[in-house]
Amino acid sequence: MNSKLTISIAKALLLARWKQTLVAAVGVTFSITMFIALLSFMAGLNDLLDGLVLNRTAHIRLYNEIQVNKNQPVNKSPLYKDNYNFIKSVKPTNARLQIYNSGAIIRTLKKDTRVLGIAPKIMTPVFFNEIAINVAAVVNGIDVKNETKLFYFNDYLIEGASDDIEKISNSIILGKGLANQLSANVGDRVQVSNTNGEIFQLKVVGLYQTGIQELDKTQSYTSIATVQKLMGVPNTYITDIQLKLKKIPEAPAIAKEFTKLFEIDAIDIQTANAQFETGSFIRTLISYAVGVVLLVVAGFGIYNILNMMIYEKMDTIAILKATGFSGKDVQTIFLLIAISIGLIGGLVGLLLGFGLSAIIDQIPFKTASLPTIKTYPISYKLMFYLIGAVFSLITTFFAGWFPASKASKVDPVVIIRGK
Amino acid sequence: MSENILQAKNINKSFNDPIKVKVLTDINIAINKGEFVALTGKSGCGKSTLLYILSTMDTDYQGELLIDNVSMVHKRESELAKVRNEKIGFVFQFHYLLDEFTVLKNVMLPGLKLGKFSEKEVENCAIEKLKILDIDKLAMKKANQLSGGEKQRVAIARALINNPDIIMGDEPTGNLDKKNSDIVFDLFNKLSDELNQTLLIVTHDLSFADRMHRIIEMEDGKIILL
């Protein structure tokens, strides 16, 4: 078929009534703009809410649980090997929170390609002494560099600099809630007593706020070395190894594997935060539902506009057919028209959608729980733009296809007579 | 028989909506090359319906239709379109030009569709046809800027572009005033006399019909005068 001719006819029909073409294209543009902007905004909010928990939580945490020794002597004795031994009132002994051979474990993990990053940590309960009051809290000894990289520690810092806990000896970063209880500010000294009752003076070098009240009231951070000093333990002593994985869904399986491999307790994020998983799933479900509804509504809108446009051109179809253009030619011409509208309208829609998202991204949004968030969050996912582009082409294609194929099948006389 | 350009054998047609009405009964027509034929009859006698069947634009009928001695009955839609493109030029009552295009492009479109000649050749041919009809100065105007008579002449030029075997007209003067009707009929006469063009024109204007070679008269879906 003579494609040059069909293209030139389609072009002429498009341009001759450019106002009508514009209205149709604007319909597509509007739908795609709304789809992109709304979905980007929803996904942005979702990511923000997910981040509240995800950013601060290890995908897998390796640690030692205080528990009863599974290998009781009686079971190991060859004498009672064939018996079924009942042991009552077994108590945990020797509560060893330390991870043995932590150096070797970290070396092994570093070689594992599924692991994104590793951050060792020590946790110990302490009392902060404020004149007559003892406030129970936890001191976390962290490796600042990795903690910042994997858990965005700096995002939650509202005062001071995280590096200071490693640069300044005997320094500490307090949670906002904890600092309020102790009425301590940056630069002040706080008194800490460890589980054995020994007292230390620490300098406050920063304050942080996660937005989760419970954490802000009970958590404080310092360097690993400072905690080791507080506890009076050697510098190989570590209680936790936190891992971030490349793929979160693999966490439960990998946690199980590490439990066996390192003979250690490992908890994955899905188990540790079951309620978060549910919330996140439901939020994602809602945004997908909204996305689908938007697309369906937009699809019908586009379909309607193009349908009307083609029915208005029935005369043209009759003339073309009477002068020797086949149904297939007519169909091609109108498909070209529909797809051009989809292409141009869709493209402008993507650009405007991006623009609208960028505007939303500038609207101030301040919340106490998220000190680093200043404006409404927007997710600039390429996926939304791809869906938008493909969708605008597919809907316009079908919106052109159905009326055009119907028109291509009728005898020209039916159209002429119908006048 | 070899001179036959168009032949209809036992053509019957009924409309089924809302009740069955027979509009054409046992139509038998043969038109020879070079003839200038008028198809006349009172309004509603089925002459337009017959013309649309003869022009292959209506396929809902019983009987046999031969154009250039080839049967049209079992042809596919795209083959019929090709026949219309190559062998038939059609002039409607309401001009039916494409307003989106210039006069020249309107005339050229069927030629470009035929694809036998280059765009330049088709353009020259179109200008030539416009000259025959004395409207070559309108070539660059948009179709919707023309008067009714001019539009109808452009439509005739378009019908001529592929040098069809036969030109059919459905009351081509029905929508024109006396002066323009005369112009159009003079043109048909000129085409018939000078170019030996075969023409089949539906009209209810007997003063025009009398000037043609042959009159076919219809009444109530039947031919009463051949």
* Dihedrals phi, psi of A124, to nearest 5 degrees: -145, 140
Chain A residues within an 8 Å CB radius of B57: 321-322, 411-413, 416
Beta carbons of B113 and A2 less than 8 Å apart: yes
CB-CB neighbours of B153 under 10 Å: 26
Residue A240: pLDDT above 80?
A: yes
Is residue A302 assigned to a domain? yes
Is residue A90 assigned to a domain? no
For residues A270-285, give the mean pLDDT.
83
Residue A172: pLDDT above 90?
A: yes
Residue A268: pLDDT above 70?
A: yes
Kindly state whether residues A165 and A245 are assigned to the same domain.
Answer: yes
Is residue A67 assigned to a domain? yes
DSSP A246-282: S-GGGHHHHHHHHHHHHTSEEEEHHHHTHHHHHHHHH
Which residue did the predictor score with more confidence, A416 or B186? Answer: B186
Which residue did the predictor score with more confidence, A152 or A189? Answer: A189
Is residue A168 assigned to a domain? yes
User: Please, which pLDDT band fits residue B149 given cuts at 50, 70 and 90?
Assistant: confident
For B63, the 3-state DSSP assignment is: strand
Using one digit for the tens of pLDDT, what is the confidence trace for A125-147? 999 988 778 889 999 999 888 88
Kindly state whether residues A293 and A165 are assigned to the same domain.
Answer: no
Using one digit for the tens of pLDDT, what is the confidence trace for A198-234? 899 999 999 988 777 888 899 999 999 999 988 888 8
Beta carbons of A12 and B85 less than 8 Å apart: no
For residues A87-109, give the mean pLDDT.
80
Using one digit for the tens of pLDDT, what is the confidence trace for A365-396? 887 666 677 888 888 889 889 988 998 888 88
Count of the separate structural domains present in chain A:
2
Shortest Cα distance, chain A CAs vs residue B9, angstroms: 21
Kindly state whether residues A183 and A307 are assigned to the same domain.
Answer: no
Nearest chain B residue to A12, by CA:
B100
Is residue A205 assigned to a domain? yes
Chain A residues within an 8 Å CB radius of B101: 12, 16
Kindly state whether residues A116 and A259 are assigned to the same domain.
Answer: yes
Residue A265: pLDDT above 80?
A: yes
Beta carbons of A316 and B92 less than 8 Å apart: no
User: Between B85, B94, B105, which is nearest A324 by CB?
Assistant: B85
The predicted structure's pLDDT at residue B95: 62
Domain end position, chosen among A268, A285, A305: A268
User: Which pTM does this prediction carry?
Assistant: 0.72
Residue A97: pLDDT above 90?
A: no
For residues B176-196, give the mean pLDDT.
82
CA distance A225 to B124: 94
Kindly state whether residues A158 and A250 are assigned to the same domain.
Answer: yes
CA distance A173 to A147: 14
Residues of B with CB under 8 A from a CB of A: 52, 55, 57-60, 77-78, 81-82, 84-86, 90, 92, 94, 96-101, 105, 109-110, 112-115, 158, 162
User: Please, which pLDDT band fits residue B1 given cuts at 50, 70 and 90?
Assistant: very low
The predicted structure's pLDDT at residue A418: 65
DSSP A192-254: EE-TT--EEEEEEEEEE--S-HHHHHHEEEEEHHHHHHHHT--TT--SEEEEEES-GGGHHHH
Using one digit for the tens of pLDDT, what is the confidence trace for B2-27? 477 888 888 888 887 778 887 888 88
Shortest Cα distance, chain A CAs vs residue B220, angstroms: 19
Residue A348: pLDDT above 90?
A: yes
Domain end position, chosen among A249, A268, A287: A268
Q: Which domain holds residue A188?
A: 60-74+95-268
Q: What integer best gives the mean pLDDT of chain A?
A: 85
The predicted structure's pLDDT at residue B17: 74
Shortest Cα distance, chain B CAs vs residue A2, angstroms: 7
The predicted structure's pLDDT at residue A355: 94
Kindly state whether residues A327 and A250 are assigned to the same domain.
Answer: no
DSSP B79-95: HHHHHHHHHEEEE-TT-
Kindly state whether residues A239 and A353 are assigned to the same domain.
Answer: no
For residues A325-331, give the mean pLDDT.
85
* Dihedrals phi, psi of A268, to nearest 5 degrees: -95, 165
Least-confidence region, from A8-12, A292-296, A361-365, B43-47 = B43-47
Kindly state whether residues A229 and A282 are assigned to the same domain.
Answer: no
A189 contact partners, CB below 8 Å, separation of at least 6: A201, A202, A203, A204
Residue A294: pLDDT above 50?
A: yes
Is residue A83 assigned to a domain? no
Domains (ranges, CATH) in chain B? Answer: 34-60+75-225 (3.40.50.300)
Kindly state whether residues A314 and A230 are assigned to the same domain.
Answer: no
The predicted structure's pLDDT at residue A322: 82
Kindly state whether residues A298 and A377 are assigned to the same domain.
Answer: yes
Kindly state whether residues A221 and A121 are assigned to the same domain.
Answer: yes
The predicted structure's pLDDT at residue B217: 83
Q: List the alpha helices (DSSP H) in B100-210.
A: 103-114, 119-132, 148-160, 178-195, 206-209
Residue A413: pLDDT above 90?
A: no
Q: What integer best gives the mean pLDDT of chain B?
A: 81
Shortest Cα distance, chain A CAs vs residue B206, angstroms: 24
Is residue A257 assigned to a domain? yes
Domain end position, chosen among A209, A234, A268: A268
Residue A188: pLDDT above 60?
A: yes
CA distance A123 to A186: 22
Kindly state whether residues A315 and A262 are assigned to the same domain.
Answer: no
The predicted structure's pLDDT at residue B5: 81
A171 contact partners, CB below 8 Å, separation of at least 6: A164, A165, A202, A203, A204, A205, A222, A223, A226
Is residue A88 assigned to a domain? no
The predicted structure's pLDDT at residue A1: 52
